[in-house]
A and B are shown apart, each in its own frame.
Chain A
């Protein structure tokens, strides 16, 4: 924004929400979400919860791919580790930790475990990048899912048939309806977005961006590639682990096949569609990626009149639309929806003058 952006001190320039429009937007969104939690119907709450969970994970992928410039096609593995971590820890610590405190103990633990595993998965990133890293993370995804499915770990993970997950208990408040879960997920998703926005403002975030722009130049400037690439992996894995924890709490049962390659691709696609390396990118991308299958389902059912034999075409159509969406954005708008909204906002801000 051109006007209303005067900064009289360094402190004002360094704030997370560094102009009044951003502040207004953030407080406004808080109010909207609060209204949504009260007035929306059950179906909308369900969709919003799905979006929230995916959003936390895409914020994580954005840190790695959008800001640090490392491609990963294996982030579903971290979501899986977060989800299974919470479930297993809950079973193991049952009775040791008081139930009201369980959430506050096991979620940070699961996130920490995911971050550590993220560092290990990130190790190849020190020697390879681009395509090689994409395949290395893809391989890691296959291996993690394979290990979860093994009979050897079945007493904890449930193997192929999955495992039932607990409901969160916040100091005695059991969140067993979707609406209550929505409140928790919305708060955490909102906090993750702000945390990501804050991260980019700091020394670490600036180091990430330097690595993205040219890693060798960054190293010459004194940024330790080893340290910051692994930090980036750990942070993005941690966000995905948090998303996984919410995933486990939200659904009654988790299965290994929910965390396969499809989810990894969905995360990356949401990021590309929304806009890489932008804070609001994941938000736009997730909204589009989650809404698209629902819209197709409704429209298709409307045109076929609810014909059961035509219903088998719904899933493939959703798949094709997903691919087309990704291809369309890469060909026509590589910077994502965020670029479109930027253009609109800029035009609105300069109206009635030139739209450049």
Chain B
């Protein structure tokens, strides 16, 4: 039972990150009716930007010393005499890295927003009103462009980046076994949930959120009601790329950065279809469910079986409910 709880918690934590990635795909779909197959590569760009601003730039000679490692006197003092691997030590390590973490996240957000805008302007805007097939295939072409560009700019080597939150181990007892967690994972989960909730509330209550929903409902009516549909499109893409940047930074701290980060996009795409393309709630539940199922598969069958869990799950769900668990059914007229 204790092990079950341990794996369930691990699953929920990775499920929350899936939800954060999925929110980008759902937002773009809701506004523009385009399913972004290249979202995983947008996330990879976010991760690489975080790496650039948090590792490469602070490592340069011309960068100020406090950016690479912040060492005020009080910090160094309190570090003295601390045992290795103590929770306090982890927090202090994090405090030392804090400037470059913040710099990295800020840089990743801005750079990824620019990338998202460029994609929207150059590839999506000319295709407004064209067939869905063309739009999907454009994002497929984008996969190759982005992964090629990433390996030219950053080389294909894997590397590590600083954690976003103090990575102190947390232990507690439940059902007679010790549950073991990392602080950084817990904070990542909270960040993901917070952003997800923020976006759902934004779409529900703010003016631009209403504009997104109206555009999703009917583009031409939205146009005639004075909503600037192109603006809604670019806002949705910026939203997707900035949440993608944060998701990328989190994934980079968990697994290290490598070109294979782009493949996450496909399993998340499966999750999105499972939940229903236009339902935030459905996608959220599907993400958590797949996260837990993956963790359980990892526990029972071994690590490599976990990677096909989203795909098997989406096939089963599509056969039973073609529009996903909570998706709205499209009405087709002949």
Contact = CB atoms under 8 A, between A and B. Distances in A.
B141 A326 contact: yes
Interface string B288-323: 000000000000000010011011101100110011
A130 B34 CA distance: 12
Interface residues of B, number: 41
Contact of B322 (A127, A272, A322, A327): A127
A316 B148 CA distance: 4
B143 interface: yes
B108 interface: no
Contact of B123 (A143, A268, A327): A327
Of B148, B308, B334, most A-chain CB atoms within 10 Å: B148
Contacts of B141: 269, 322-327, 330
Given A135-B270, A269-B141, A127 B318 contact: yes
Contacts of A13: none
A180 interface: no
B249 to A, nearest CB: 23
A73 interface: yes
Interface string B125-169: 011000011101110111111111101100100000000000000
A326 B323 CA distance: 29
B124 to A, nearest CB: 11
A130 B133 contact: yes
Contact of A132 (B123, B142, B318): B318
Q: Chain A interface residue count: which class?
A: 35 or more
Of A73, A136, A323, most B-chain CB atoms within 10 Å: A323
A316 B270 CA distance: 27
A300 interface: no
A128 B321 CA distance: 9
B307 A217 contact: no
B273 interface: yes
Mostly, the B contact residues are: helix
A214 interface: yes
A320 B145 contact: yes
A265 B137 CA distance: 9
B144 A131 contact: no
Mostly, the A contact residues are: helix
A12 interface: no
Given A139-B311, A320-B149, A326 B137 contact: yes
A197 B130 CA distance: 29
Contact of B137 (A127, A319, A330): A330
Interface in A181-225: 214, 216-217, 220
Nearest to B144: A323
B121 to A, nearest CB: 13
B266 interface: yes
B311 A142 contact: yes
B245 interface: no
Contacts of B318: 124, 127-128, 132, 135-136
B269 interface: yes
B251 interface: no
A288 to B, nearest CB: 14
A265 B140 contact: yes
A71 interface: yes
Given A265-B144, A320-B149, A334 B315 contact: no
A123 B320 CA distance: 11
5 contacts: A132-B273, A265-B144, A269-B141, A319-B151, A326-B141
Given A127-B318, A272-B137, 14 more contacts: A73-B140, A124-B315, A135-B273, A138-B266, A140-B311, A146-B307, A220-B334, A315-B148, A316-B149, A316-B152, A318-B148, A319-B151, A320-B149, A323-B142
